[in-house]
Amino acid sequence: MNIEVVVFGVSFVVALGSSIAMLFAKNAVHVALFLVAAQVALALTFLLQGAYFIAAVQIIVYAGAIMVLFLFVVMLLGVDRREALIEPLSGQRTIAVGLGALLAAEIVYVAVKGTEFVIGGRGEDALVTINEDPGNVKALARALFSDYLLPFEATSVLLVVAIVGVMVLARRMGHEGFLRETTEDEGSEGAETDAEVPA
């Protein structure tokens, strides 16, 4: 058996398994950890398909930075909170699962039957050649700084906007800080805040 098939099988099982586990994990921290597992497994599939740089970035940025941020916020808001098992919205679960299954079936059908519609490419061998010369990172950099320069610059603007926006959103409002006791004690809220929240 080909080692690549083995690697794919492992990553397939891990990715799908931890995704499904995310659905059933009650604790937000567990959900985050399953997501990290799924992302690492996905990084493996990226490697298998010759996207070396993306695989590395996937681990560093996603599984590293972003997930740490998620965990941080989960911890900040309280890990103890558990969701109730009862679904308050009637029909929501039925729609989600039913249509989700239908959507999955459709996507898989297209994935299996529809690859012939991928047209205009130079074939898998071309990517192999590129990865050998000039190499995956260089090829990516060339594309990024020539054909995709404008979107690249736009993302830098996007990041600045995001940073400023976050600062506006998260800054302290008056005496109200988000570091105050958050778990219980609704009564300690200022009257001022109560007035701002309509019932």
Partner 1 sequence: MTSVSPEYFLALAGLMFTIGVVGALTRRNAIVIFMFIELMLNAVNLAFVTFSRMHGTVDGQVVVFFVLVVAAAEVVVGLAIIISIFRRRRSANVDDVNLLKW
Partner 2 sequence: MTFAASTLPTDEATFAQLIFGAPLLGAVLLLFFGKRLGKLSGIIGSATVGIAFVFGVLSFMDLTSIATGHGENARVLTKSWFTWIEVGDFNVHMSLVIDQLSIVMVFVITGVGFLIHVYSIGYMSSEENYGRFFAYLNLFIAAMLLLVLGDNLLVMFIGWEGVGLCSYLLIGFWFEDRANATAAKKAFVVNRIGDFSFLLGIFLLAVSAGTLTFAGINESAVSGAIGGSMATVGALLLFGGAAGKSAQIPLYVWLPDAMAGPTPVSALIHAATMVTAGVYMVARTFPLFEAASFDVLLLVAWVGGATAVITAIVAAAEYDIKKILAYSTISQLGYMFLALGVGAYSIAIFHLVTHAFFKALMFLGSGSVMHALDGETDVRRMGGLRKVMPITGWTFMMGWLAICGIVPFSGFFSKDAILAGAWADGQYVLWGLGVATAALTAFYMSRLYLRVFEGGVVMPEGTHAHDAPPTMAAALIPLGILSLAAGALNFPGGLTFEHFLEPVLGEPEVAHGLTAWLLGGAATVVAVGGIAVAWALYLRAGGLQVRDRTERMLGPAVRAARNKLYVDRTYETLILQPGRDLAVFCTEVVDRKIIDGAVNGTGKLVAGSSELLRRLQTGYVRNYAAAFLVGVVVVFSILIVRVAA
Interface positions, 132-171, toward partner 1 (CB under 8 A): 136, 139-140, 143-144, 147-148, 151-152, 155, 158-159, 161-163, 165-166, 169-170
Q: At which residue do the structure tokens 């997501």 appear?
A: 35
Q: Compute the least distance from the CB of residue 62 to partner 1, in Å.
A: 7
Rg of the chain (C-alpha set): 23
Q: Does 109 bind partner 2 (CB under 8 A)?
A: yes
Binding-site string for partner 2 from residue 144 to residue 173, where x marks contact by CB under 8 A and - marks none: ------------------------------
- Residue pair 26/83 in contact (Cβ under 8 Å)? The answer is yes
Sites for partner 2 among residues 61-90 (CB under 8 A): 89
C-alpha to C-alpha distance for 6 and 49, rounded to whole angstroms: 14
- Partner whose footprint covers residue 19, from partner 2, partner 1, none (CB < 5 to 8 Å by kind): partner 1
CB 127 within 8 A of CB 50: yes
Residue 49 contacts which entry, partner 1, partner 2, none (Cβ below 5-8 A, type-dependent): partner 1
Q: Is 110 in the site for partner 2 (CB under 8 A)?
A: yes
Could you tell me which of 159, 145, 125 has the C-alpha nearest to residue 50?
125
Q: Does 100 bind partner 2 (CB under 8 A)?
A: yes
Rounded CA-CA distance 161/193 in Å is 28
Q: Report the alpha-carbon distance of residue 97 to residue 174 in Å, rounded.
A: 44
Q: Distance (Å, rounded) from C-alpha 7 to C-alpha 44?
A: 8
Q: Compare residues 20 and 110 and give the one whose CB is closer to partner 2.
A: 110
Chain-centre distance of CA 27, in angstroms? Answer: 18
Q: Is 59 in the site for partner 1 (CB under 8 A)?
A: no
Amino acid at 114: G
Q: Answer with the entry of partner 1, partner 2, none that 117 interacts with (C-beta below 5 to 8 A by kind).
A: partner 2
Site of interaction with partner 2 (CB under 8 A): 89, 92, 95-96, 99-100, 102-103, 106-107, 109-110, 114, 117
